[in-house]
Structure 1
């Protein structure tokens, strides 16, 4: 009997005498276009998970933690993606262009001083985020942690302020990219380049988290190579090894001096420094979509320190030596003028032809990279807020490719603001848009440190051991306390320089609102939600904070066994290797 006959005889076996189809139907093979459209359908949660989420015995915090853990994102980010996102993810216009205005305002010495202090802040803050995120690798990261460990109104205010930041960053970075092109050719209308870069960034994100990861890997690699090359070149130029053969040394520290506007000028530079390293916290958001957050996230977190010290502090120390704070080119024609970049100016001063164009190409890629990150960060934060009931429910829609498609659509809509580049009011519009979220990074970092402090205190109150954690912050709880204190001092100093700016003799109300409106927005969001919900006290006692809901590893004994095995292997290696692994 043939194989087909055997199959027919098996199928034709119904006890009630009804004849079944002789040959089992093969599933219809879909073409690539149909598969593409089907990928936008909602990714379904299993019935078991839905049943558990509707368990009436769960508290609201436990239910939210479970749903955030089960958000159907694709776990497609590899270790190399997280490593490069951590090393070069936030390197963008804040470093390459914004440092120019910081140099002019604060003076040569303000660059290494401010970036060193902010580097210490970022080190403590990102380690705190890494400890909590590696334990709870859930969508939304710090905004979700603020809801759980502080209270929902704080999570609402911080989350939405962070969303606003990225909503404004995307069009501003697209404009910056279009203006950067004018370094080579100013004859083409910048609107044309806006359209090209707008479509490019959205196309990258349509490929899901893998597209974002691969793009960031490439962009970050280019930025890392460029900065390493500049570090070598900068040392050569300072020592007089350039075409001019002139020893630079500390000339610019003597004339016009280390500080151009005294202590107030240094305080102004702090905000620029915080903005330039903003985006480091995206490592925590990315961790929720990595294939193995327990092992990969800590490695990525540890890279932040080296990036701060080598890339930011190292390159900006050389910039302070190579570029005079009174150089008129630092003024630029706009905040996105690549010719105002101190990196480009330093290379031009060195008399090296061709390299300014190379550095400008790196700046262009950096701008696109930040725009790409803005779509990722904003859409994931919106999805997290929606899952917690802090945003419209449509934003919790995640399709079969793991894309929060309505969040991406929201960012795409605000990205259309980039076409205001054709208007002569573009700078005014974006000055006020940025004012809505100008202090977002500082408030975000404050929430990360408070969440970490509350997490550690909850562990202690519930008699839990730190041995249960996959990664512990090198700075510990006191590092988070120190960071929080310095950030609060920053807010007071920013209030001072916003109301009495360097460039104005008296009180400047317009400048105050353009620099401090973000604080008012956060406060209004926090109080507004409390009034709307009529819940004026939502702080959970430390002994009631759910520490097991949403954990990456529920079996603590198995986790501790794995950690012990890893420590034994580490002890068998040399001291130098152990030292390296502790830092990296």
Structure 2
């Protein structure tokens, strides 16, 4: 009881600092839950537009605070707009990571690993990602701060590791955005569009993505809502069509197909090594799953909406990935010549397109290509959103100059957006004859970024739970507890280490090739990059601690509910309400 009172007092003390933010220009005090800037009806639309780009200035923090406390409070009180609703988070969670990794990358995975290897790899990776998302959901619901998992790493592990992970994540988004824009322009070539128009499509897609993000988080949320609906409908439609084709439907049908291709040419393409090689491919297809948590600081009601978004991952893994890929393995043999297409964004290399074409269905492959195009643009849109928020977080932690933390009155991290927009201009390298070499090495820099991000999330979750235990507090104060618990985070870390070992093995001894330095670093360059950032930060700060002591972990700054006793009472009432309902409702609430 004494510990609970102490922790409540701690939250209330910090809450006074965090949740009363004054706009220095107007002199008015704003509740940090809104930070709303209303347009002045006495000004013209142009004047209000200009005013919207002006900085939202907050009162300076107490200079007596430690750097760690200042950073924690800065991320908690960021004046980002909380415009994301439950429907936005649901669709971001369900369709956020459905992209080229599933629609096109699964083709290469099928060729290298075979249908059995694909299913096993995606099930294992999916279970790992589910554990990661559950852990991240617990952290994000408790502490919905800007920068999300980047902030958690510096706060619950130690600053140098947070610095390295954050910069690796930032590089991944800055590099992926121009790559996805180029990929979108190449996707259009499916319709035999002349190559001379490629640059025009690059410019068009670049403008579209930039325009969406200039509308702020509301623009991002609405765009992802529409993109995700299209992708989800496409997957559901394919599942229905796939079942019909397997049962013998379709113009070119020779009767019931069933598991014919699992017997000839077989379930595995290159044995265990083939399975090991596609493990990273399967992980790449889940990249972006964590995006819902990055938006926690811009969510109206994270305590209600984030748990539902985290739980939706189970359905996405089961329905969209496992079922669709099982059908693909039955419809397309891994020896199909179209799986050997030259580029990873070539729609002709998509097993979804191949299955439909081989069935003799006309017109529908073009529809799938449109979905692939939308998926590519969705990833580019998410990259500029994530990149700009990462820049803001880096600035708040002192890893970038203070000017990079500029947030305007519309809640846009403007300098971060500008930086991402400038990096997006790299997409025009598509006109260069050396574009393949440049893009391959750019991609290599962040090739393992998702593994480092997911691994750090699991470690943060374990450290957060350890901090609660050491400081005499319990999980009763958590509005959402990871369904997988601490063992889920341990499981996630183990599988991530296994994946990194597999990738090292395949990078060193590639399938069908000889060992070479170029092949190895093109697949494993991101690890030296992370180590470089980590060591540089250690040398600069001369802070040689590997972990922050569990008793010193800040478990409170950033909470929106500052009265822990009231929060515990509300949690108990919610549990009692759910337990009083029929079993079908309790089951639904557990999974959804």
TM-score (norm 2): 0.91
Give the equivalent residue in structure 1 for 2:66. 59
**2:223 counterpart (185, 208, 215):** 215
SS in 2 for 1:384: helix
Do structure 1's residue 264 and structure 2's residue 273 form an aligned pair? yes
Give the equivalent residue in structure 2 for 1:560. 568
Give the equivalent residue in structure 2 for 1:152. 159
Cα displacement (A) at 1:548? 1.4
Cα displacement (A) at 1:79? 0.3
Cα displacement (A) at 1:393? 2.1
Per-residue Cα deviation, 1:245-269 (whole angstroms, up to 9, x for no partner): 3222122212221111111111110
Cα displacement (A) at 1:55? 4.9
Give the equivalent residue in structure 2 for 1:111. 118
TM-score (norm 1): 0.93
Do structure 1's residue 368 and structure 2's residue 368 form an aligned pair? no
Give the equivalent residue in structure 1 for 2:53. 40
Give the equivalent residue in structure 2 for 1:529. 537
Do structure 1's residue 344 and structure 2's residue 357 form an aligned pair? no
SS in 1 for 2:253: coil
Cα displacement (A) at 1:539? 2.4
Cα displacement (A) at 1:416? 1.0
Cα displacement (A) at 1:333? 2.9
Counterpart Cα distance in 1 of 2:102 and 2:349 = 12
Give the equivalent residue in structure 2 for 1:508. 516
**1:479 counterpart (483, 488, 491):** 488
Counterpart Cα distance in 1 of 2:406 and 2:494 = 38
Q: CA RMSD in A?
A: 1.2
Q: Which region of structure 1 is more displaced relative to structure 2, 444-453 or 184-193? A: 184-193
Do structure 1's residue 499 and structure 2's residue 508 form an aligned pair? yes
Q: Which region of structure 1 is more displaced relative to structure 2, 361-370 or 58-67? A: 58-67
Do structure 1's residue 31 and structure 2's residue 44 form an aligned pair? yes
Do structure 1's residue 121 and structure 2's residue 110 form an aligned pair? no
Counterpart Cα distance in 2 of 1:97 and 1:28 = 50
Give the equivalent residue in structure 2 for 1:422. 431
Q: Which region of structure 1 is more displaced relative to structure 2, 198-207 or 278-287? A: 278-287
Cα displacement (A) at 1:28? 7.8
Per-residue Cα deviation, 1:302-341 (whole angstroms, up to 9, x for no partner): 0011101111111111111111111121122312111211
Give the equivalent residue in structure 2 for 1:333. 342
Question: Which structure 1 segments of 5+ residues have no match?
Answer: 1-26
Do structure 1's residue 73 and structure 2's residue 80 form an aligned pair? yes
Counterpart Cα distance in 2 of 1:205 and 1:498 = 37
Counterpart Cα distance in 2 of 1:244 and 1:339 = 19
Cα displacement (A) at 1:572? 2.4
Cα displacement (A) at 1:485? 1.1
Number of residue-to-residue matches in the alignment: 551
Question: Which structure 2 segments of 5+ residues have no match?
Answer: 1-39
**1:137 counterpart (139, 144, 147):** 144
Counterpart Cα distance in 2 of 1:177 and 1:298 = 33
Do structure 1's residue 173 and structure 2's residue 180 form an aligned pair? yes
Give the equivalent residue in structure 1 for 2:324. 315
Cα displacement (A) at 1:424? 2.5
**1:398 counterpart (404, 407, 410):** 407
Give the equivalent residue in structure 1 for 2:420. 411
8 Å Cα contact 1:92/1:276 also seen in 2: yes
Cα displacement (A) at 1:34? 1.7
**1:96 counterpart (93, 98, 103):** 103
Counterpart Cα distance in 2 of 1:332 and 1:135 = 46
Give the equivalent residue in structure 1 for 2:15. none
Cα displacement (A) at 1:400? 0.7
8 Å Cα contact 1:134/1:552 also seen in 2: no
Cα displacement (A) at 1:181? 1.1
Counterpart Cα distance in 2 of 1:31 and 1:317 = 57
Cα displacement (A) at 1:59? 3.2
Counterpart Cα distance in 2 of 1:322 and 1:351 = 13
Counterpart Cα distance in 1 of 2:349 and 2:41 = 59
Give the equivalent residue in structure 2 for 1:229. 237
8 Å Cα contact 1:152/1:538 also seen in 2: no
Do structure 1's residue 541 and structure 2's residue 549 form an aligned pair? yes
Do structure 1's residue 253 and structure 2's residue 265 form an aligned pair? no
**2:305 counterpart (296, 311, 328):** 296
Give the equivalent residue in structure 2 for 1:17. none
Larger Rg: 1
8 Å Cα contact 1:166/1:375 also seen in 2: yes
SS in 2 for 1:107: helix
Give the equivalent residue in structure 2 for 1:354. 363
Give the equivalent residue in structure 2 for 1:16. none
Instruction: Give the direction of change, closer, same or farther, for the CA distance of 1:542–1:340 in structure 2 (3 Å limit).
Output: same
Instruction: Give the direction of change, closer, same or farther, for the CA distance of 1:267–1:28 in structure 2 (3 Å limit).
Output: closer
Give the equivalent residue in structure 2 for 1:21. none
SS in 2 for 1:106: helix
Per-residue Cα deviation, 1:210-259 (whole angstroms, up to 9, x for no partner): 00000000000010111001111111111112222322212221222111
Cα displacement (A) at 1:42? 0.5
Counterpart Cα distance in 1 of 2:535 and 2:477 = 36
